[in-house]
C-alpha cells in the first residue's frame, strides 16, 4: 500500500515538472505537449479541482481531524501487528532449534543435559518472547492479532509437547500450556526489553489502546485450542523422526513405544469432528502417513529384526522412508 502511494505521488510530481518546463522551452518534442496543454485550458483537467481543494484546505477541518485520528489508530494496529510478527518469528526459529536439540537425544548419558538445556531455552521463550506478546495483547482482543503469532505458537507447542513426551511419556493438556503462558503483574519484570517497548507505544498513542488491565492483574498469550491441536499434529511428525532415529541408536523398545503413542493420538484425531477446519483435516492426512511409516518400521523390526544387524536396520527402513523425510521444512 505504501509503495502504491509513493508511486502515485512520484507520478504527480513528474507531471507537474513536465508541465512547467514544457512552457519555457521551444522544441519539437514540446509542440505536442503544448497542444495538449492548450486543449487543457478549455477543458477541465482532472485533478485540478482536487489540487485546489488541497491547497486551500484547512488543517483544522473536522474531516482532516478525523482522518488524522484514523491514521493514528491504523498505525497503532499495524505497528503492534508487526512487533508481534517479529516476536513470532523469533519463537519459530528458536522452537525449531530446540526440537533439533531434542532430536540429538540418543544416549541415556546425554539425556539429563539435553533435556535440561531444552527446558531452559523453552522457559526463556515463555519468559521473554511470549511475555512480550502477552504484553502487546493486554486489553486487546487476542483473536485480532492471532494470525500474527499462531505460526510461532504452533511451533512452540510442538517443541514443548515433544519435550514433555520425552520427560513424562505423555501429552500436556491445553490448559497446562495456556497456564504456562499466563502471567501476573506481580512478577518482577526480569526481562524488560519487550515490555518497555510495548508500554512506551501505548503511552504515546492514547487514541485506541483501551489498556484496561484484567481484574486480577493477570494477562496471557492466548492459545486457541485449534492451535494447540495443530501443534500436537506437528508433534507426530517429530515423533516419527524420533522413532526412525531410535533405530539408528538401537533403541528398538523406544520405537515401539513411540509408535503406540502416535497411534493413540491418531485414534484421538479420528474421534473428533474436524469439518470446517481444513487445516486439521490436512494434518490428519500427514499424520496417517507418518503413522504408516512408523508401523512399517515396527513391522520391519519384528520380522527382520533378528536377521539384520541393528545398525543396518535403520538403513533398511530409512530407504523406504526417504520420500517422506524430504518434505521437512529445512529450517534449522
- Find residue 171's DSSP bridge partners: none
Interface residue with another protein among 167, 210, 260, 281 (CB under 8 A) is 260
**Exactly one of 81, 174, 295, 321 binds another protein (CB under 8 A); which one?**
295
272 lines the binding site for another protein (CB under 8 A): yes
Query: Annotated binding site for Mg(2+), which residues?
Result: 158, 238
Instruction: Round the CA-based radius of gyration of the chain to a whole number and report it.
Output: 30
Interacting stretch for another protein, rule CB under 8 A, among 160-168, 169-177, 235-243, 270-278? 270-278
Q: Is residue 323 near another protein by the rule CB under 8 A? A: no
By CB neighbour count within 10 A (0-12 exposed, 13-18 middle, 19+ buried), where does 33 fall?
middle
Q: Is 206 in the site for another protein (CB under 8 A)?
A: no
| Phi, psi of 127, rounded to the nearest 5 degrees | -80, -25
CA distance 11 to 314: 64
- What is the spatial distance between Cα 164 and Cα 173, in angstroms, rounded to a whole number? 10
Which of these, 247, 259, 135, lies nearest to 191 by C-alpha position?
135
For 21, the grid coordinates are 518546463
Contact between 303 and another protein per CB under 8 A: yes
Binding site residue list: 158, 238
* 110 versus 304: smaller Cβ distance to another protein: 304
Binding of another protein at residue 204 (CB under 8 A)?
no
| Binding segment toward another protein, per CB under 8 A, in 17-25, 67-75, 154-162, 267-275 | 267-275
Class of residue 166 by CB neighbours under 10 A (exposed 0-12, middle 13-18, buried 19+) = middle
* Residue 212 binds another protein (CB under 8 A): no
- Which positions touch another protein (CB under 8 A)? 256, 260, 263-264, 266-267, 270-273, 292, 295-296, 298-299, 302-304, 307
Amino acid at each position: 500500500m505504501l509503495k502504491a502511494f509513493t508511486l502515485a505521488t512520484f507520478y504527480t510530481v513528474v507531471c507537474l515538472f513536465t508541465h512547467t518546463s514544457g512552457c519555457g522551452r521551444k522544441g519539437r518534442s514540446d509542440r505536442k505537449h503544448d497542444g495538449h496543454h492548450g486543449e487543457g485550458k478549455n477543458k477541465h483537467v482532472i485533478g485540478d479541482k482536487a489540487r485546489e481543494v488541497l491547497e486551500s484546505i484547512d488543517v483544522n477541518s473536522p474531516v482532516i481531524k478525523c482522518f488524522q485520528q484514523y491514521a493514528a489508530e491504523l498505525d497503532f494496529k499495524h505497528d503492534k501487528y508487526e512487533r508481534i510478527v517479529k516476536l513470532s518469528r523469533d519463537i519459530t526459529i528458536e522452537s525449531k532449534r530446540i526440537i533439533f536439540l531434542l532430536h540429538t537425544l540418543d544416549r541415556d548419558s546425554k539425556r539429563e543435559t539435553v533435556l535440561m538445556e531444552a527446558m531452559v531455552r523453552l522457559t526463556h521463550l515463555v519468559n521473554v518472547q511470549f511475555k512480550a506478546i502477552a504484553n502487546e495483547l493486554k486489553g486487546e482482543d487476542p483473536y485480532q492479532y492471532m494470525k500474527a503469532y499462531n505460526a510461532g505458537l504452533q511451533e512452540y507447542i510442538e517443541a514443548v509437547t515433544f519435550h514433555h513426551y520425552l520427560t513424562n511419556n505423555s501429552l500436556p493438556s491445553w490448559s497446562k500450556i495456556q497456564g504456562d503462558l499466563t502471567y501476573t503483574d506481580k512478577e518482577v519484570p526480569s526481562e524488560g526489553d519487550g515490555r518497555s517497548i510495548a508500554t512506551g507505544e501505548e503511552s504515546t498513542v492514547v487514541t485506541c489502546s483501551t489498556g484496561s488491565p484484567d481484574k486480577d492483574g493477570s494477562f496471557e498469550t492466548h492459545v486457541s485450542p485449534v492451535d494447540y491441536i495443530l501443534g500436537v499434529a506437528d508433534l507426530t511428525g517429530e515423533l516419527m523422526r524420533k522413532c526412525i532415529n531410535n533405530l539408528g541408536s538401537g533403541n528398538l523398545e523406544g520405537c515401539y513405544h513411540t509408535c503406540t503413542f502416535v497411534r493413540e493420538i491418531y485414534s484421538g484425531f479420528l474421534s473428533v469432528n474436524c469439518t470446517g477446519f481444513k487445516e486439521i483435516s490436512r494434518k490428519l492426512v500427514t499424520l496417517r502417513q507418518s503413522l504408516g511409516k512408523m508401523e512399517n518400521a515396527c513391522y520391519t523390526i519384528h520380522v527382520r529384526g533378528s536377521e539384520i544387524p541393528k545398525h543396518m536396520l535403520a538403513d533398511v527402513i530409512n530407504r523406504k522412508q526417504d520420500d517422506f523425510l524430504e518434505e521437512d521444512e529445512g529450517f534449522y
